[in-house]
Structure 1
Amino acid sequence: MSERSIITQMIPLSRITIAQNVRTSTGLDKASIKELADSIKELGLLQPIIVAEHEGGFAVIAGQRRTLACQMAGLTEVLCIVRGAETGGEELKAVQIVENLKRENLGLSETCEGVREMLAMVGKPAEVAKRLSKSSAWVSKHLSVTGPTFSADVRDMVNSGQCNDVEMALTLNQIAKHPKGSTVVAHLIAQVKAGLIGRAKVRATLEQLKAPAEEGEEGGEDDGDGEGGEQAPKGKQTISVELSAELAAVFEAAGGATWLRKQLKKLAEAQRELPV
Structure 2
Amino acid sequence: MARDNLSDIIVFLAVAREQSFTRAAAKLGVSQSALSHTIRELEARLGVRLLTRTTRSVSMTAAGEALFQTAAPRIEEIDAKLAALSEFSDKPAGLIRITATDHTIDAIVWPKLRAVLRDYPEIQVELTVDYGLVDIVEDRYDMGVRFGDQVAKDMIAVRISADVPMAIVGAPAYFKRRPLPRSPEDLLKHDCITLRLTTTKGIYAWELQKGKRAVQARVSGQMIFNSQPQMIRAALDGYGLAFVPEEAVQPHIRSGKLQAVMKDWCPSFPGMHVYYPSRRQSSRAFTIVLDALRHAR
Structure richer in helix, relative to its length: 1
Q: Tell whether the structures are fold-level matches, with TM greater than 0.5.
A: no
The structure showing larger relative contact order (alpha-carbon pairs under 8 Å, at least 6 residues apart) is 2
Q: TM-score range by the shorter chain?
A: under 0.3
When Rg is computed on C-alpha atoms for both structures, the one with the higher figure is 1
Normalising by structure 1, we get a TM-score of 0.27
Structure richer in strand, relative to its length: 2
Normalising by structure 2, we get a TM-score of 0.26
